[in-house]
A and B are shown apart, each in its own frame.
Chain A
Amino acid sequence: MKVTVTINGSDRSAEAEPRQLLVDFIRSTLGLTGTHIGCDTTSCGVCTILVDGTPVKSCTMFAVQADRRSITTVEGLKQNGELSNMQKAFHQEHGLQCGFCTPAMMLVGSAFLEENPNPTDEEIRWAISGNLCRCTGYMNIVKSIQAAAAMNNEEVSA
């Protein structure tokens, strides 16, 4: 079946067998390998992408379901050729070690701050509770999302 998506602002079309998982369509067919595959069982959250702005696990959705929808992956976070505030914050606060969970964490963090621009640490921890990190102990991830919130708010008030 032909699947057409708007991914990171660009329209892309390709053939997909109905059983092709969205994560493989993104990585293998569209060549965007920033979205990772971890557990492949809907547990770890590293394959999280945004579909119409909402975080979903792309190992638990078929590519055909995404037809005519809008997708954002980590490659789409940069703005005007520069790192987004969320990316800058993960860099600045050392919000990663191995980096495997990072694309998903930054996407989930970005979608969460749209809904809640001034979160508490506790609220951030709940927001990322569908995403596993085996390196950081989450401390610096929470700090990074807080730092991104502060950067966003500074821009709004400037």
Chain B
Amino acid sequence: MYPNQFEYLAPTTLDEALSVLAERGDEVKVLAGGQSLIPMMKLRLANPTTLLDINRLPDLNNIGESNGHLTFGALVRHNDVVKSELAGRSNHTVFAAAPWIADPIVRNLGTVCGSLAHHDPEGDWASVMLAAGAELVLSNSEGERVVPITEFLVDMFSTSCQPNELVTEVRVNKHTTRGGGDYQKLERKIGDYATVGVATSLELGDDGAITGAGIALTSVYPYNLKVTEVEDLLVGNQPGDDLFKEAGAIAAAASDPASDHRGSADYKRHVVGVFVERGLANSLATAQGGQS
């Protein structure tokens, strides 16, 4: 299968790349890992007249720390996250999800930022970022702006990133030593979409009560669903089995899965409840310094 013809540009500086977007961003698709974009181009679902390959831009492949954030540049591959000790100790939700993205070969090329910019409504990273309270840095030739994930994700395959902008970084709050997180994913086979995915994040106060909570669901709603009802329920309370069971029940009720070849709606809704409870228990164990 071959895409339509396109012009290929592979600039070596960010300024060059941003000036291409400034001039004709409407005609351009940005190529990072290409693991969703190239299949879409081959199926001619995406037909850019210009392909802007950012893989030769410097300094975008770093996982770093800045102002209490854990940061991922535009060229950080899924597998870079899997292997990152910094990510492992800094955000447990992100680190738990990374090995569940696509398959091991796709993870070598696909990028975190690219996946978010593509915004497949059944993608895993968007749920992770909703639970982790992420922000994205969008750059254009004039400067940059920072957008919270809730404002970045607009609708399926659509984000608030403008044609003249490039997602140059996604960043999440680091978990404290009293924080934990998890990603639970059920898939039929490696590389499949989630049948059900649940991202969880917890922060505990000095008295052990929950001071921060993030919950988001994958593949059980028309888009990645941040369940604020559950987050509100958790914050201010002492963690425990009964609370987590209630959280699971509320999340299951909030979900609206479709019956399909991956399972019936009832089955998926049941799994949401189980995963929320399990994800919260694992997050709590990490936050309390136990085994996740």
Q: Which residues of A pack against B, CB within 8 Å?
A: 1, 17-19, 21, 40-43, 45, 48, 54-57, 60-62, 64-65, 67, 108, 126-131
Residues A45 and B103 in contact in the complex (CB < 8 Å), given A55-B108, A65-B53: yes
Stretch among B31-39, B125-133, B168-176, B232-240 lining the A interface: B31-39
* Contacts known (A130-B104, A131-B105); A61 close to B5, Cβ less than 8 A: no
**Is the beta-carbon distance between B2 and A21 smaller than 8 angstroms?**
yes
**A55 and B105 within 8 A (CB):** yes
A/B interface sample: 13 pairs, CB < 8 A: A19-B4, A40-B42, A41-B42, A54-B108, A55-B104, A56-B105, A57-B106, A61-B38, A67-B10, A108-B105, A130-B102, A130-B104, A130-B106
Whose C-beta in chain B lies nearest to the C-beta of A111? B108
Say yes or no for B55: interface residue by CB 8 A criterion: yes
Decide yes or no: A60 and B2 within 8 Å by CB, A45-B103, A130-B104, A130-B191 being known contacts.
Answer: no
The docked-state distance in angstroms from the alpha carbon of A89 to that of B41 is 39
- Range of interface residues on B (Cβ < 8 Å): 20 to 34
* A to B contact number (C-beta, < 8 Å): 76
When distances are taken between beta carbons in the complex, the residues of chain A under 8 Å from B4 are: 19
Do B1 and A129 touch (CB < 8 A)? no
Contacts of A60 in B (CB 8 A): 34-35, 38-39, 106, 109
Render B2-16 as a binary contact track against A, CB cut-off 8 A, 1 for contact: 111111101000000
Tell me whether chain B's interface is mostly helix, strand or loop, or mixed.
Answer: loop
Kindly state whether residue B190 has any CB partner on chain A within 8 Å. yes
Contacts of B161 in A (CB 8 A): none
Q: B residues within 8 Å of A by Cβ?
A: 1-8, 10, 31, 34-35, 38-39, 41-42, 51, 53, 55, 102-106, 108-109, 190-191
Within 8 Å CB of B35, what residues of A?
Answer: 42, 60
Q: Which residue on chain B has the smallest CB distance to residue A55?
A: B105
Instruction: Verify A56–B55 contact, CB threshold 8 A.
Output: no
B109:A56 contact, CB within 8 angstroms: yes
> Which chain A residues border B31 with CB–CB below 8 Å?
65
B41 contacts across to A, CB distance below 8 A = 19
- A18/B105 in contact, CB under 8 A: no
Q: Is the CB of B104 within 8 A of A19?
A: no
